[in-house]
Amino acid sequence: MGPIGKLKLGQNPMATATIAAVVILMNFIVIASAADVPKLEIFPSQKVQRKAVGQAMILTCRPNVPSPNLVADLQWKDNMNNTILPKPHQIYQPVYDSKGHRIRENTGRNPPMFTEYMTGTESLALIINHLSVEMEGKYYCTASYATNEILETSVTVKTYVGITWTNAPENQNPILGEDYVVRCEVKADPNPTIDWLRDGDQIRTGEKYVVETNGLLIRNVQESDDGIYTCRAAVLETGELVERTIRVEVYSRPAITYLPTTLEATEGKPFSANCTATGKPVPEIFWIKDATQQNVATADRFQVNPLTGVLNINSVTQDDYGTYTCIAKNDAGVVDQKTKLNVLITPSIHFLYNVTGDSQKEIALTCRAKGRPAPEITFSRWGSDDEYAAGVQVDDERITLEQHFDEEKGESSGTLRIARAQRSDDGLYQCKARNTGGTAYATGHITVQFPPDFSHMKDLPPVFSWEERKVNLTCLAMSIPNATIEWRWNGKPLKDLNDKNLQIVGTGPRSDLIVHPVARQYYSVYKCVATNILGTSQIDIQLKEARVPEPVPAAEPKQLTATSITFDIRSPPVEFGMPITAFTVQYKEAINPDWSTAMNRSWSPDSPYIVEGLKPQTMYHFRFAARNQVGLGMWGVNTQQSTPKRSAPEEPKPLHSPVQNDIEEPVVVSPYSDHFELRWSVPADNGEPIDFYQVKYCPGVKMAGTWHELENQCQSVEVADSTSYEMSRLAGNTYYRIELRAHNIIGFSSPASVIMKTTRGIDVIQMAERQVLSSASIVGIAVGGVLLLLFIVDLLCCVTINMGVMASMCRRTKRSPSEIDEEAKLGSGQLVKEPPPSPLPLPPPVKLGGSPMVSPSDEKQPLQTPTESIKQNSTVEFDGKFVHSRSGEIIGKNSAV
């Protein structure tokens, strides 16, 4: 207020009102007069402008005068009172051409501050592109008005430093188990305050976290400290607030978890080693050869997988020996570990020779080998995996294995010594040189020399001949070296006798003496003498005159039917080396006095002695003889036996193997649950042919050891022309009693009984379609077709070239009885000497002469008994499984059919 305002008021209300009115009037006059005063105005209008360093700013100065056209020299002055110049004028030059290609660099730069008139106004702008601390101070805007009045105004520019992140990486990786400071350093003026957030919650200093000026300290970092952290900076004076998001991922230092201290590789072979390391992030693995400090991943023949740490060498050489360092590295650190690679040299055998020694003396077989480490040498017999142990052998103290090693040279040797060598020590021996790099093999032979030996011939039978047949006496001496053989007879060398009936073939180690015994003196003992450098040995070989067998001492009927008799024949005594080859029977009806018309039948010694095709209720005479290679012996025992009358057939025999799983009775188990095929053999018909078989089967159970049948469920069928029947629609897991009887015109046989059990549940085995013909019928048809074809071929051979079975029979009918009798005798023919190609094993003495036995045919069914076939002759042989029979013409009383 002016002086008027200083008057004391309150003396008079009227005066007070008057004074107030005067004051208002005066203030209005002052304002009105001020509006007419020329001046300059700066915008923004604040006298003090605060801006952050680095920011851009603009200040405008505008004249506020009655006549703006009288304003001149409008300009800005900086904080150093220097006039700020306008922006310099620049000529435009294009940076890119019409096709978008750069043709020059854009090098135009504006000054740090300049002035510029604002379009459409009279204002002059001060533009600062990048505010710096040095630009802080008072700036003036000046002008002249009406040529004689200077106008001036000012503004103060104050700077401050904004929040700037100086060390606050957005991704940081502390190390597991260590203390770590999550860095967050900021710069601001005035100084900022810092706090931390995690998951929106403020972090305060405690045992785990400590808020420090340069960051957040995390003690004993764990994997659970992974996460997003927020660093928040605030300047209270300016109100500035800035947040920095920092991702923290915990790393762990690498650690090598697997690397052997030593490695072994084999020269010339591939090799692989593994160096395993853990860490986060997954460490990268390097292999360094210490001798050359070379990363082997860059070397030839080496491959390294940096993630798995696997080292592969294509082919190891001796130069690869040495120490290697495995290095595991990741962003958390580096760790290394050393290992030594030993290169193994595969064994090689360079010395092994065959040796020869005398029996009962020492023999040594030596084997030498190279390798690294020096290989161990052992021996084994060829074909056996059992190796000799070092030192004296437990199971044979005669044998000792000596071993010697030279690790420096990589050499070793082994010697197998055999004291008091025996013939059994002769053979191949395998040397095995073995180390960790592999095994080498070589084979040598030990030859044990021994004097001649005839032990293999001591149990051979005498040699037989008859009727002046030449015979072969074979002498084979076992010896090393081979023996020379000399034959002696009656104490004299045979070579000096010049006997044409004694011929020597070969002088050793095998020699054959061919004897033609034209006189009884040749049936004698011949001595074979073998000699080599180690000694002499001899053996006697006896030549005996063979004779036909003695008469059969006994033959008794064992089983009778109306059409057949089974005999029990006792063999006569035989000489060692001359076995019985067959038994022959002649039989005729008792009313027939002439044995020349009798029937013949022969059996092999191990077959059933059955005479079939007999008439019922008929008395027969039988006489028996034995046969050997010489011929048929004298007829021995004479037996009379009558056959029973015609009767019902014999009991048929089921062809099934029962299982003894029942205490009372064996059980046949069917492989099916609903059907079963019963099969049986054809029994003796006892004089009348079998016309059918009756099969009866009933389900039932056993209670207290007694079989109880369900009579109302029994079924009975008749089967003709077959030896099998399939029972169908059976119940599963059920017992059935099956009765089988054969029938002929006289009646039924006694029943054959079978207990059968079906399986439980669904059949495992599928039933094939039933054939229209039985297996026996198909086989019979096939055999008949083959026989018919052979008959046609034989007939053609007989007609065209006069050869074959029929031609032979035709020629035989033209011979004299004496010729027939001579041919029937065994022992005819001449010696055809064919020494075996190899002396080992010793072959049996040559069987001289004799007629071959006739090859029998396979008898599928018992012989039928038609009336016209009663007088057929036959030969029976038994091979252990089947009985073979052959019928043919009778050839006299001494026939060798």
**Distance between alpha carbon 828 and the CA centroid of its chain, in Å?**
63
Q: Rounded to whole angstroms, how far apart are CA atoms 828 and 630?
A: 9
Residue 183 to residues 167, 178, 180, 215, Cα–Cα distance (Å): 6, 15, 9, 4
Confidence of residue 863 (pLDDT cuts 50, 70, 90): very low
Confidence of residue 820 (pLDDT cuts 50, 70, 90): very low
Claim to verify: residue 531 and residue 467 sit in the same structural domain: yes
Strand order in the sheet with 271-274: 271-274, 310-313, 302-304
Least confident of 382-386, 687-691, 783-787: 783-787
Q: Rounded to whole angstroms, how far apart are CA atoms 776 and 681?
A: 11
Q: Would you say 759 and 670 are in contact if contact means Cβ atoms under 8 Å apart? A: yes
**3-class state of residue 126 by DSSP:** strand
Residue 374: pLDDT over 60: yes
Burial tier of 838 (Cβ tally within 10 Å: 0-12, 13-18, 19+): exposed
Sequence-ordered alpha helix ranges (H) in 814-890? 817-824
Residue type, 23: V
User: So what's the pLDDT on residue 384?
Assistant: 86
Claim to verify: residue 61 and residue 156 sit in the same structural domain: yes
Residue 102: pLDDT over 80: no
Which of the listed residues 619, 643, 667 is the one where a domain comes to its end? 643
Instruction: Find the mean pLDDT for residues 454-470.
Output: 91
User: So what's the pLDDT on residue 660?
Assistant: 67
Quick one: DSSP state of residue 3?
Answer: G
Claim to verify: residue 175 and residue 204 sit in the same structural domain: yes
- Say if residue 839 is preceded by a cis peptide, omega within 30 of 0: no
Residue 844: pLDDT over 70: no
- Residue 245: CB partners within 8 Å, gap ≥ 6? 170, 228, 229, 230
Residue 864: pLDDT over 50: no
Instruction: Find the mean pLDDT for residues 775-793.
Output: 74
Claim to verify: residue 436 and residue 459 sit in the same structural domain: no
Residue 187: pLDDT over 50: yes
Domain membership of residue 436 as a residue range: 353-450
User: So what's the pLDDT on residue 831?
Assistant: 34
Residue 492: pLDDT over 50: yes
User: So what's the pLDDT on residue 635?
Assistant: 92
pLDDT in tens, 402-436: 999 988 788 999 999 999 999 899 999 999 999 88
User: So what's the pLDDT on residue 773?
Assistant: 53
Confidence of residue 781 (pLDDT cuts 50, 70, 90): confident
pLDDT in tens, 35-87: 568 998 999 988 888 888 888 999 999 999 888 888 888 999 998 989 999 88
Residue with tokens 């039928």: 864
605 occurs within a structural domain: yes
| Pairing mode of beta strands 535-545, 463-465 | parallel
Burial tier of 867 (Cβ tally within 10 Å: 0-12, 13-18, 19+): exposed
770 occurs within a structural domain: no
- Residue 264: CB partners within 8 Å, gap ≥ 6? 341, 342, 344, 436, 437
Q: Which tokens is 633 given?
A: 């012996």
Residue 496 to residues 283, 357, 491, 499, Cα–Cα distance (Å): 100, 36, 11, 9
Q: Which tokens is 128 given?
A: 């600062």
Assign 3-class secondary structure to 422-465: CHHHCEEEEEEEEECCEEEEEEEEEEEEEEEECHHHCCCCCEEE
Q: Would you say 355 and 444 are in contact if contact means Cβ atoms under 8 Å apart? A: yes
pLDDT in tens, 656-665: 888 866 556 7
Residue 823: pLDDT over 70: no
Residue 137 Ramachandran class (φ > 0 left, ψ -120 to 50 alpha, else beta): left
Nearest Cα neighbor of 897 from 814, 842, 826, 805 is 826
Nearest Cα neighbor of 257 from 332, 323, 326 is 326
Instruction: Find the mean pLDDT for residues 519-530.
Output: 93
Which of the listed residues 248, 280, 313 is the one where a domain comes to its end? 248
Q: Rounded to whole angstroms, how far apart are CA atoms 375 and 360?
A: 32
Confidence of residue 333 (pLDDT cuts 50, 70, 90): very high
Report the percentage of the chain scoring pLDDT > 70.
80
Claim to verify: residue 480 and residue 530 sit in the same structural domain: yes
Instruction: Find the mean pLDDT for residues 681-708.
Output: 85
pLDDT in tens, 385-405: 889 999 999 999 999 999 999
Q: Rounded to whole angstroms, how far apart are CA atoms 881 and 866?
A: 27
Q: Which residue has the higher pLDDT, 645 or 797?
A: 645
Q: Rounded to whole angstroms, how far apart are CA atoms 142 and 704?
A: 143
Instruction: Find the mean pLDDT for residues 125-148.
Output: 89
Claim to verify: residue 504 and residue 574 sit in the same structural domain: no
Residue type, 848: L
User: So what's the pLDDT on residue 107?
Assistant: 52
Q: Rounded to whole angstroms, how far apart are CA atoms 572 and 653?
A: 34
Q: Rounded to whole angstroms, how far apart are CA atoms 31 and 462?
A: 171
User: So what's the pLDDT on residue 875?
Assistant: 52
User: So what's the pLDDT on residue 355?
Assistant: 93
Claim to verify: residue 666 and residue 690 sit in the same structural domain: yes
Residue 838: pLDDT over 90: no
Sequence-ordered alpha helix ranges (H) in 688-815? 775-801, 805-813
For the chain, the domain total comes to: 7
pLDDT in tens, 729-745: 898 888 898 999 999 98
The kind and range of the H/E element at 810 are: helix 805-813
User: So what's the pLDDT on residue 787?
Assistant: 80
Instruction: Find the mean pLDDT for residues 80-99.
Output: 76
Residue 746 to residues 536, 685, 719, 742, Cα–Cα distance (Å): 78, 10, 17, 11
Strand order in the sheet with 724-727: 653-654, 676-681, 724-727
Least confident of 145-154, 322-331, 667-676, 782-791: 782-791
854 occurs within a structural domain: no
User: So what's the pLDDT on residue 801?
Assistant: 63
User: So what's the pLDDT on residue 777?
Assistant: 64
874 occurs within a structural domain: no
pLDDT in tens, 711-722: 788 999 999 888
pTM score: 0.46
User: So what's the pLDDT on residue 401?
Assistant: 94
Instruction: Find the mean pLDDT for residues 448-471.
Output: 91
Which of the listed residues 699, 723, 757 is the one where a domain comes to its end? 757
pLDDT in tens, 571-614: 999 888 899 999 999 999 989 889 989 999 999 998 889 998 88
460 occurs within a structural domain: yes
773 occurs within a structural domain: no
404 occurs within a structural domain: yes
Residue type, 579: P
Claim to verify: residue 570 and residue 608 sit in the same structural domain: yes
User: So what's the pLDDT on residue 634?
Assistant: 92
Q: Which tokens is 70 given?
A: 């009288």
- CATH number of the domain where residue 287 is located: 2.60.40.10
Q: How far apart are the first and last CA of the chain?
A: 176
275 occurs within a structural domain: yes
Least confident of 136-150, 295-309, 537-551, 849-863: 849-863
DSSP result, 242-273: EEEEEEE--BEEEEEEE--SEEEEETTS-EEE
Helix axes 805-813, 775-801, angle to 10 degrees: 60
Claim to verify: residue 444 and residue 473 sit in the same structural domain: no
**Mean of pLDDT over the chain:** 81
Q: Rounded to whole angstroms, how far apart are CA atoms 374 and 256?
A: 33
Confidence of residue 215 (pLDDT cuts 50, 70, 90): very high
**Distance between alpha carbon 735 and the CA centroid of its chain, in Å?**
47
Residue type, 407: E
Residue 565: pLDDT over 50: yes
Residue 848: pLDDT over 70: no
Q: Where are the beta strands (DSSP E) in 129-179?
A: 137-145, 149-167, 171-172
Claim to verify: residue 662 and residue 731 sit in the same structural domain: yes
Q: Which tokens is 42 given?
A: 């700066």
Claim to verify: residue 736 and residue 716 sit in the same structural domain: yes
Nearest Cα neighbor of 510 from 831, 838, 18, 744 is 838
Q: Rounded to whole angstroms, how far apart are CA atoms 123 and 147?
A: 19
Angle (nearest 5°) at CA 488 between 485 and 494: 90
Residue 794: pLDDT over 90: no
| Residues paired with residue 448 on neighbouring β-strands, in sequence order | 357
Claim to verify: residue 578 and residue 678 sit in the same structural domain: no
Confidence of residue 792 (pLDDT cuts 50, 70, 90): confident
